[in-house]
Every structure is written in C-alpha cells, then in structure tokens.
Amino acid sequence: MQQAECGTQTVYYTDGKREFFVHDGISLGISWGTFWRKPDGSLRQVKSPWLPTRCNRSLAQADLEDWAEARGLRRVDPQRRLDWAVRRLG
C-alpha cells in the first residue's frame, strides 16, 4: 500500500469502463472519498465499505489503492490523462 501526500498528483485507476480517483467532492477539503466521473461531467462517489469517506486525502488514497489492488484494477498512465484533458479542452 502506498501513501499519497497532500498536494501530490491525483492517481487514477480503471476497470476498463470508469476511472476512479480521490476527490473532496463539494466538501471544500473537509472530507475525501473515491469518485468516478459521469459522461455529463458530474461526479459520483463510489459506495463501498472498502471506501469510506475520510478526513484527509492520504487516507482516502490508501483506501482506493487497497480497493483497486483487491479488484485487479490497473493504474492509469498520467500522460494518457493529460492527453485526454488537452483533447477535451480543445
């Protein structure tokens, strides 16, 4: 299990359909959880006992990494994410 520090790059994991990542949603940094983005751009929090809402980003990231490993999800290449964002902003 890796620990993520605040201020580090967001790490994404995928099951081939969705990309999962740690985000604070609308809490303004008060709580952190694992989310995925819907096609319309809105966020959905993953509901799982493995992925509780946490008081800081590093705990939520550790939960996501454990959950992703247990499910055989693969880590998304950061360059792929950057390429996608550049194309989307166009």
Note whether 17 and 37 are within 8 A (CB): no
Q: What percent of the chain has pLDDT over 70?
A: 78
Per-residue pLDDT tens over the stretch 47-56: 999 999 999 9
pLDDT at site 10 = 75
Is pLDDT above 70 for 82?
no
pTM, 2 dp: 0.76
Is pLDDT above 90 for 11?
no
Is pLDDT above 50 for 6?
no
Q: Give CA–CA dist 70/27, Å, rounded.
A: 28
Q: How many beta carbons lie within 10 A of that of residue 30, not counting itself?
A: 11
Task: Identify the band that residue 63 occupies on the pLDDT scale cut at 50, 70 and 90.
Answer: very high
pLDDT at site 20 = 93
